[in-house]
Amino acid sequence: MLRQLNGIVAGNAIMGWKRFAIYNALGALLWVGAWSSGVYCFGDQIKVWLLRFHTTAIWLAGALVLFLLAAVAYWIISKRCHD
């Protein structure tokens, strides 16, 4: 997100285009290097984390559905009792 704002900030700071191009290229190299290194070093762990997240998400979705069903049932029952 912040990487997208660098042109606006450079323009407001009246930075010359040559200086901006150098800093933008350096920032791009660091950004790509960080993401590539992270995936390369932690690739196997990321797979495990994603699998755990997927399993947890299924359980959380099931719990949410049960909660919503219970809330709707409570609302329907309380509506009938008050009528």
Q: 22-58, pLDDT tens digit by residue?
A: 888 888 898 889 888 888 888 788 778 888 888 888 8
| Residue type at 25 in one-letter notation | A
Q: 54-73, pLDDT tens digit by residue?
A: 888 888 999 999 999 999 99
**String of b and e for 15-53 (b: at least 16 CB within 10 Å)?**
beeeebeeebeeeeeeeeeeeeeeeeeeeeeeeeeeeee
Q: Which two tokens stand for residue 62?
A: 């099931």
Question: What is the pLDDT, as a whole number, of residue 83?
Answer: 62
Q: What is the pTM of this model?
A: 0.44
Going by C-beta distance under 8 Å and a sequence separation of 6 or more, which residues neighbour residue 46? 39
